Amino acid sequence: MEKAKKKKGLRSLFRVIIVLAALAAIAVFYAHKTVLAPFKTKETVYVYIGPDKNFDKLVQQLNEKAGLPSESLFRLIAQRMKYPENIKTGRYAVRNGDNMMSLIRRLRSGEQTAVDLTFNNIRTKDNLAGRLSQQLMVDSLTLLNALNDAEKARSFGFDENTFVAMFIPNTYQVYWDTSEDKLLARMKKEYDAFWNADRRAKAEKQGLTPVQVSTLASIVEEEATYADEYPVVAGLYLNRLHRGMRLEADPTVKFAVGDFALRRILYRHLEIDSPYNTYKNDGLPPGPIRIPSIKGIDATLSPQQNNYLFMCAKDDLSGRHNFAATHAEHTRNAARYQKALNERGIY
């Protein structure tokens, strides 16, 4: 009787072991299946790991942006792979079809996806620092301090006034967590590539250095609303420079005053004491009054050959200009423009 009970007990234990083994196998199967389960995103999404390298924030982003197949399993795998203690800053892609294991490997090895860094229509260092920091991990104040650092500017061959000329507006692939020093080094590399032998030869033909070209191009772009006027305006200002005439460019006065929104330049504005006031100072100002575009720079390098010395906004306020070779003609154009401003109550 006891033997029979023993046998029965062993059979029951065996059944329990089989059931547990089956359950374990099923659990392993589903766990494995979940580990390899693909992210189902309609398009590639990106997660960002900042300087704090916060693992919980990363998990939150993955849940919100990519829909983690299993948060608990992701955390377990990450712990087993010692990822939380080896987390790296950066911008990482999560693509449709990725699984948790492959993603953790990529995160752990720091395989980032670069940012398409763009900047254009930039007037001031503050604008530039702000635009760059919107696209990169680096803080805008850190960038601004770097742009205002005289010693740093000199190390790249510029000064505080000309440093912004090193930034050629374009699209650059840059890692999101790049430092300000690496960013500046990259911009210098791009600047040197942009100013190739052909462009330098054109600058020399105009009697200008590359930085002076950028400075003049910045004035040209502030003067001309429409790009088709860039070569005309560039030709006019070069005529004045070559004749030893002051540029008398209104945008430089706006820069000196610190108000680009000025619609009307008054005599009190012309009297401002600033090296950027080209009504009071000969030649070009100390540096660009904005970061000129490639189109503006190339227009300045290949100006229209004309005999213009004066320009004035058209009285239709279209943003276009009347150009003149004589002061008398310019005076008539200016009178029509002033009348148009008075009639519209623009002071």
* pLDDT value for 97: 86
**pTM of the full predicted structure?**
0.85
Query: Would you say 159 and 150 are in contact if contact means Cβ atoms under 8 Å apart?
Result: yes
In this structure, the number of other CB atoms found within 10 A of the CB of residue 241 comes to 19
Given the DSSP bridges, would you call strands 310-313 and 321-324 parallel, antiparallel or unpaired?
A: antiparallel
* pLDDT value for 33: 45
Q: What residues contact 152, with CB distance under 8 A and at least 6 apart?
A: 146, 184
Mark the ranges of the chain whose per-residue pLDDT is less than 50: 13-33
Q: Strand, coil or helix: what is 311?
A: strand
* pLDDT value for 88: 97
* pLDDT value for 10: 52
* pLDDT value for 234: 98
In the chain, which ranges are continuous DSSP H helix? 2-35, 55-61, 71-80, 100-109, 125-135, 140-147, 150-155, 180-194, 197-205, 210-223, 230-242, 250-257, 267-270, 294-301, 327-343
Cα distances (angstroms) measured from residue 125 to each of 43, 67, 132, 148, 217: 35, 40, 11, 8, 17
Amino acid at residue number 141: L
* pLDDT value for 106: 95
Alpha-carbon gap, residue 107 to 89, rounded angstroms? 9
Query: Would you say 307 and 239 are in contact if contact means Cβ atoms under 8 Å apart?
Result: yes
* pLDDT value for 303: 98
Residue with structure tokens 């374009």? 170
49 forms beta bridges with 90
* pLDDT value for 264: 82
Query: Would you say 116 and 61 are in contact if contact means Cβ atoms under 8 Å apart?
Result: no
* pLDDT value for 8: 56
* pLDDT value for 130: 97
What would you report as the CA-atom Rg of the chain, rounded to the nearest whole angstrom?
A: 32
Query: Would you say 20 and 28 are in contact if contact means Cβ atoms under 8 Å apart?
Result: no
Alpha-carbon gap, residue 254 to 263, rounded angstroms? 10
Q: Which domains does the chain have, with CATH numbers?
A: 34-113 (3.30.1490.480), 115-194 (no CATH), 197-308 (no CATH)
